[in-house]
Chains A and B, each alone.
Chain A
Amino acid sequence: MSGDDDGESPVDLSPLYGRPDPQRLDRLAQRISTSIAAGRAPRSVMDQLAAWAPVAVGLAFAVAVLAWVPAFAVSPRTPPAGPGAALLQLALSNPGPGGQRPIWFKP
């Protein structure tokens, strides 16, 4: 027991929890250290690929969107081409109040 007592003797809690066992504590410390080390260990190639899979999917989606969007970035004088053209025609059919249409637009 620790030395800085309050003038009262400690309550004996060993009937309930046993006496402190340094070896048991040592085994627990080793178990914890092993688990922590396992968490830090370099992962296998497959694990790393699996961890990066969501990022790869996100990037692929972003590239696809960026490749598709230029169809909208058309000059006011050049009719659009590509997969977005039909959608753009549809959107421009109702430009809203004060909206301007490019000169190539034919309602």
Chain B
Amino acid sequence: MLAGSLAFPLLAASGRPLPFQATNAVLVERARRGSSAATEQLVRRHLRAAVAVALAVVGDLVEAEDVAHDAFVLVFERLDTCREPERFAGWLMQIVRHRALNSLTQGRARRASLEHLPAGEEPREPEASRLDLRRELASGLEHLSGPQREVVLLHDLQGLTHAEIADALQISEVMSRQHLFQARKALRAVLERAGETSHGRHA
């Protein structure tokens, strides 16, 4: 586990590395003193992970982004209560999970609409098979454990490394790899079954 001591490659939205690669602890300390640059670095560093962790709970990207937004605002309001700044990521993700669960219980979560394509996606397959695929993917994700769902979304959707995942979820890299392996295995099984069913229907 990295416990926030490793400076991750900081990527701006453009993908270019930021000039100063500070640890979480340093950035938290600077943000506490009112540095907006440090605040922004912390937001950009952990945003993909926060969205993926929220997505693992609420299942809808728009809602996950709202949850991540609210969690970040709350975290920076309470930054003085962060007792272990080097474990900022783990603290943030706990708050993200908590807010995501609140969102679910308040019925605000909008499960991924299976009838509509995600923003920016062009239809490439016949409508029926695309809908089947989306349904199967959603169902497969639903059947994963919470940590497996988080890891597969962080790795395969958001593109985080196992080191980054380990830091964000406060688990070991080995555990991250195990969760990913199990999650992919389960998802592939679901997709293969769906493929066989689909072929059988079209034959």
Residues of A near any B CB (own CB < 8 A): 1-4, 6, 8, 10-26, 28-29, 31-33, 35-37, 39-40
A-B pairs, top 8 by smallest CB distance, nearest first, are A18-B118, A26-B13, A10-B156, A2-B161, A32-B72, A16-B137, A36-B76, A13-B157
Partner of A28, one of B69, B138, B164: B69
B61-97 interface (Cβ within 8 A of A) = 61, 65, 68-69, 72-73, 76-77
Would you mind naming 15 contact pairs between A and B with Cβ atoms under 8 Å apart? A2-B162, A4-B162, A10-B156, A11-B191, A13-B153, A17-B61, A19-B121, A20-B157, A20-B159, A26-B13, A28-B68, A29-B40, A29-B47, A36-B39, A36-B72
* Contact (Cβ within 8 A) B134 A15: yes
Known: A6-B180, A16-B134, A40-B34. A29 touches B13 (CB 8 A): yes
Known: A16-B138, A22-B13, A35-B73. A28 touches B65 (CB 8 A): yes
* Contact (Cβ within 8 A) A8 B181: yes
* Contact (Cβ within 8 A) B161 A3: yes
* Contact (Cβ within 8 A) A20 B158: yes
| Residues of A close to B187: CB separation below 8 A | 11
* Contact (Cβ within 8 A) B138 A25: no
- 18 new A-B contacts, CB < 8 A, other than A16-B141, A17-B112, A39-B73, are A1-B155, A1-B156, A2-B161, A3-B161, A4-B162, A6-B184, A16-B134, A17-B55, A18-B118, A21-B119, A24-B119, A25-B48, A26-B13, A28-B68, A29-B40, A32-B68, A32-B69, A36-B76
| Residues of A close to B177: CB separation below 8 A | 6
Cα distance A25–B47 in the bound complex, in angstroms: 8
Interface centre among A1, A11, A15, A33 (most CB of B within 10 A): A11
Known: A2-B160, A15-B133, A17-B61. A33 touches B39 (CB 8 A): yes
Cα distance A16–B112 in the bound complex, in angstroms: 7
The B contact surface, by secondary structure, is helix
| Residues of B close to A31: CB separation below 8 A | 69
| Residues of B close to A12: CB separation below 8 A | 156
| B114 to A, closest residue via Cβ | A16
| Residues of B close to A22: CB separation below 8 A | 13-15
Question: Is B188 positioned at the interface, with any CB of A under 8 Å from its CB?
Answer: yes
| Residues of A close to B3: CB separation below 8 A | none
Interface centre among A6, A16, A24 (most CB of B within 10 A): A16
Shortest distance between the CB of A3 and any CB in chain B (Å): 7
| Residues of B close to A14: CB separation below 8 A | 118, 121, 157
Cα distance A37–B73 in the bound complex, in angstroms: 9
Known: A29-B40, A32-B47, A39-B77. A19 touches B120 (CB 8 A): yes
Cα distance A22–B13 in the bound complex, in angstroms: 6
Question: Is B2 positioned at the interface, with any CB of A under 8 Å from its CB?
Answer: no
Cα distance A35–B138 in the bound complex, in angstroms: 32
